[in-house]
Chain A
Amino acid sequence: MPDFSGVDFLRLDDLLSDEERLARDSVRGFVSKEFLPLVQEHVRRDGSFPMELVPALAELGLFGANLSGYGCAGMNNVAYGLVMQELERGDSGLRSFASVQGALVMYPIHAYGTDAQKERWLPELAAGRAIGCFGLTEPDFGSHAGGMITRAERRGSGWRLDGTKRWITNGSIADVAVVWARGPQGILGFLVETDRAGFETRDMKGKFSLRASITSELYLRDVEVPDANRLPGAEGLKAPLGCLTQARYGIAWGAIGAAMACYEEAVRYVQEREVQGGVLAGKQLTQEKLVFMLTEITKAQLLALRVGRLKDEGRLHHSMVSMAKRNNVDIALQIARSARDLLGANGIVDDYQAMRHMVNLETVRTYEGTHDIHTLILGEHITGVRAL
């Protein structure tokens, strides 16, 4: 397979700094040469991730790349976004791994943790020596996370946690779980070492989507943790939502990566595929599909780039991230479906990428706030009326 050289119709590269381009290109090369040769095998084995790459991913600085100190790269948010784009160009499972570790585990420790918690976990997580997971969703509460049943009760000077979390990325391989639970006065966040008594996991099998990623259930049966494991800065539901804003921002970029991979594959394929009366590329219906893809990718790039710049300037509103996540995942899914279509029967086998991205994007559309939930967030932003 030829090297991936990106999609840049509007010369948006000119709007990037040297280090933003370098970060992107370095990760791009890594994904092409080190990750993509392994992905097929892991997709065939549902719920597995190429763990042997974790040290190299850490060495590259991909975990918590936009955080500063504690061994993190301290890149700006645009560079971070471009990195997420390149990871998801490989596979949504790869991007999810980095998103969970960085935006959902390292970020809350960085933002809401004590110095001791930061010193204990951040260097280990950045170096990939420790893996983290983020437990918010429960069997009965997904979109409405505020309804969670998992409880945190005072037990002496510490806490006792009880409940079940479901759909937790990297749950069974995690060394530390960020667990959100209902406390006496609202939602609280805890760092739970996964070897504590009463903590168990079970992997979820039979996924059609995000197969190159581990998804687990967490069972917390009267797990006791000291108060030093509570994230003191995390007060109420806005704390986990703050993490989600970070992760959703990365997804808005990631989706562009998946879309570009599908577009590139489709463009290459139609130029070689002979159908009745010539190459597939020479058909108007094909061209219309490709024009849609390129136009939507370009619009998504502009959206992500602008949101990234605003984030770096500290002028971001979470509804902007909702728009970027909602739009970019939506168009990426449409592009993947269309690319799959153009590939004909070849499009349904795993020698090609389009269908893998397509089914992955079904997960991406659902997690981190479903498409419809982001619609309702934006709807409320416009009208001031909450329809959620």
Chain B
Amino acid sequence: MKIIVCLKQVPHQDARLDIRSDGAWIQEEGIKFEINTYDTYALEEALRIKDAAEAEVVVVSIGPDRVTQALRTALGMGADRAIHVKDPEAEASDAIGLAKILAAIVKAESPDLVIMGMMSDDGNFAAIAPMLAGLTDMPHTTAAVKVERSNGTLRIDREIEGGAREVVELRSPCVIAVQTGINQVRYASLKGIMAAKKKPFDVKSIADLGLGGQVGAAAVKVRIEKISPPVKGERAEILEGSTQEIADRLVGKIKELGLL
């Protein structure tokens, strides 16, 4: 059995974010990155299947040099092999472009299962998993909170509106996009990190994948024009001051509105 896990590297949750001079993204220089939280759960789910049965776990990530660190972490945690798509054209792609890149890899690898995070902490598009499933003609499900396997069929609990659960059955090969909290993610052990040095690590360009001209800046359909920090809305009021002062003011507001 072969499982592909797609990982994205995103700015560290506590990184101080400044907007780039062109306003279209954040400044990436000098900040720390980490594996997208959702994707860590996806990887853990794949590693659990590997622990329970024979499986090869292949991790894939698209991005610049720094992405090596994310892939090496995944290898340290127990993945068997890494594929890094490193190409300025890949980085310049929109969601459909990225999905095409992943689809090319999935087609070449023909895995039994693709597991990925439901969305990324930074972009929040939640678009790639369904797009990848569409491009590869595989069934898929999103917001998975429980994955059970029995010969060729996967029974998946997914989270729906209001915290309710829906149970779906998918036939392998398929794409599963997981929700956070689905499992407890392991830590890379020092021995695992040492062993990771010897695991296969492929670097591929867009040309290697035969996607020249099909993805990248020229093929982009969705472009981020501008990002901005949250602004104080008309109805929202941000209380400031010490914890005590904020608490006092909050109680005052609630009383003012006659809610207490």
Contacts and interface: CB of A to CB of B under 8 A. Distances in A.
B12 interface: yes
B14 A2 contact: yes
Nearest to A273: B242
A333 interface: no
Contacts of B187: 26-27, 29-30, 60
A19 B189 contact: no
B30 A83 contact: no
Centre residue among B12, B68, B188, B242 by max chain A CB count within 10 A: B188
A288 interface: no
Centre residue among A5, A6, A21 by max chain B CB count within 10 A: A5
Given A21-B69, A75-B190, A11 B30 contact: yes
A65 B30 contact: no
A70 B79 CA distance: 24
Given A19-B194, A62-B190, A3 B12 contact: yes
A198 B73 CA distance: 49
Contacts of B76: 19, 22, 26
Interface string A98-115: 000000000000000000
B195 to A, nearest CB: 10
Given A30-B187, A61-B189, A273-B242, A19 B73 contact: no
A275 B34 CA distance: 36
Contacts of B73: 22, 25-26
B235 interface: no
B188 to A, nearest CB: 4
A27 B189 CA distance: 8
Interface string B192-233: 111011000000000000000000000000000000000000
A5 B14 contact: yes
A74 interface: yes
A68 to B, nearest CB: 10
B189 A59 contact: yes
Contacts of B14: 2-3, 5
A9 to B, nearest CB: 11
Interface residues of B, number: 25
A27 B193 CA distance: 12
Contact of B190 (A2, A5, A65): A65
Nearest to B73: A22
A2 B12 CA distance: 11
Contacts of B245: 274
Contacts of B34: 25
A149 interface: no
Interface string B170-195: 00000000000000000111111110
Nearest to A20: B193
A22 B188 contact: yes
Interface residues of A, number: 28
B189 A5 contact: no
A23 B190 CA distance: 6
B241 interface: yes
Nearest to A60: B189
Contacts of B72: 18-19, 22
Interface string A65-102: 10000000111000100010000000000000000000
Interface in A1-55: 2-3, 5-6, 11, 18-19, 21-23, 25-27, 29-30
Contacts of B13: 2-3
Contact of B197 (A2, A11, A19, A83): A19
A26 B188 contact: yes
Nearest to B75: A22
B20 interface: no
B149 interface: no
Given A60-B187, A79-B190, A19 B32 contact: no
Contact of A60 (B15, B190, B241): B190
Nearest to A18: B72
Contacts of A83: 190
A143 B32 CA distance: 43
A273 B197 CA distance: 46
Contacts of A21: 69
A18 B68 contact: yes
A25 B15 CA distance: 15
B13 to A, nearest CB: 6
B242 A74 contact: no
A127 B140 CA distance: 41
Contacts of A19: 72, 76, 193-194, 196-197
Centre residue among B32, B190, B192, B241 by max chain A CB count within 10 A: B190
Nearest to A6: B32
B241 A5 contact: no
B119 to A, nearest CB: 20
14 contacts: A2-B13, A3-B12, A5-B14, A5-B15, A5-B32, A6-B32, A21-B69, A22-B196, A26-B188, A26-B190, A59-B189, A61-B189, A61-B190, A75-B193
Interface of B: 12-15, 30, 32, 34, 68-69, 72-73, 76, 187-194, 196-197, 241-242, 245
Given A19-B197, A22-B196, 18 more contacts: A3-B13, A3-B14, A5-B32, A6-B32, A19-B196, A23-B193, A25-B34, A26-B73, A26-B193, A27-B187, A60-B187, A61-B191, A74-B191, A74-B194, A75-B194, A272-B242, A273-B242, A274-B245
Closest 3 CB pairs of A and B: A61-B190, A73-B190, A26-B188
